Amino acid sequence: MKPQDRYLPPEVCREVGSVLECIGDKWTILVMRTLDGGSLRFSELRRSISGVSQKMLTATLRALERDGFVTRTVTPTVPARVDYTMTDLGREVMVPLNALATWALRNQHRVSAARRSYDAKSARGK
Amino acid sequence: MKPQDRYLPPEVCREVGSVLECIGDKWTILVMRTLDGGSLRFSELRRSISGVSQKMLTATLRALERDGFVTRTVTPTVPARVDYTMTDLGREVMVPLNALATWALRNQHRVSAARRSYDAKSARGK
DNA sequence: CCGGATCCAATCCGATACTG
DNA sequence: CAGTATCGGATTGGATCCGG
């Protein structure tokens, strides 16, 4: 396989990239993994994911809704109740996504070891 | 499974997050998928990935090297030649990563359909 | 309870110019 | 060829305040 044959057509790249991009940002994977266990309302999600700000959780959920990965259901009680649920599409993408997360969980020590080694070398001026 | 049981300990989250984070940025997946086909030198990589700037390609490769996913080999000829190769660790993470990319490739149309639908609703003020 | 609006700091990233 | 250095615009993400 020659180098120049090793890429997809630009249009396809951009399409696929736009799918991977929405998964790549800071909170998306955490939110999806949390929701994959079952529907949750906003405040439950927020408590389950430590460190997420209200703004970012809202933004992340909006993006997931737009991409068709979660649905947003408003129950107009007072105060309002909003539930988030994975769609079929969302559950499908969780299969490869969970595989990746599982890999990360099992191999984090190898990555951090590589980092320590690299940083040690850099510190020695090499 | 209760909401509050649905998260990993914070330290683990941060560790796993740091692994997923490095994969999440703009060029990493493209670079890894390109290198997974075999070693390439800097200029070949740059030509294979349309749109990447020299600066970002360098930064992406440095991060991948630090994380132990690729090795950097300098051949001190004039001009210098630098080859990038996936490590065993890198090839391992490609398994779940390729699964995700394949999913994205096969389902891009469903995602873009969801987006069009969402945007159409938003435009109608709903 | 849910989330929009605003402000601001930090960073990302491309363009450009310069080095061994 | 394979970078490093620097600049500046764009984007990200947290904090805070406000409204339904």
**Tens-digit pLDDT profile for residues B87-109:** 999 999 999 988 988 898 899 99
Q: Please check whether strand C approaches the CB of B51 to within 7 Å.
A: yes
| Alpha carbon distance A58, A46 (integer Å) | 10
Please report the pLDDT score of residue B54 as a whole number.
96
| Averaged pLDDT for residues A12-21 | 74
Please report the pLDDT score of residue B126 as a whole number.
53
Please report the pLDDT score of residue A3 as a whole number.
52
Is residue A22 over pLDDT 70?
Answer: yes
Q: Judge: B6–A111 Cβ closer than 8 Å, yes or no.
A: no
Please report the pLDDT score of residue A101 as a whole number.
86
Q: Judge: A50–B7 Cβ closer than 8 Å, yes or no.
A: yes
Please report the pLDDT score of residue A2 as a whole number.
57
Residue B31 gets the label, from left (phi > 0), alpha (psi -120 to 50) or beta, of alpha
pTM over 0.75: yes
Chain B residues touching A15 at Cβ < 8 A: 108, 112
| Averaged pLDDT for residues A32-55 | 93
Find the closest chain A residue to B41 by CA distance.
Answer: A3
The CATH class given to the B3-124 domain equals mainly alpha
Find the closest chain B residue to A4 by CA distance.
Answer: B48
Which strand C nucleotides have any atom less than 7 A from protein CB atoms? Answer: 1-6, 12-17, 20
- Ranges A1-15, B17-31, B38-52: which has the least confidence: A1-15
Pick from A6, A96, A114: CB nearest B34? A6
Cβ neighbours of B117 (radius 10 Å): 12
* Contact residues for strand D with beta carbon within 7 Å: A 25-26, 51-56, 79-80; B 41-44, 54-55, 58, 61-62, 72, 79-82
**Tens-digit pLDDT profile for residues B37-89:** 999 999 999 998 888 999 999 999 999 999 999 999 999 999 999 999 999 99
Identify the burial level of B125 via C-beta atoms within 10 angstroms of its C-beta, where 0-12 means exposed, 13-18 middle and 19 or more buried. exposed
Query: Beta-strand (E) ranges in A7-104?
Result: 40-41, 70-75, 81-86
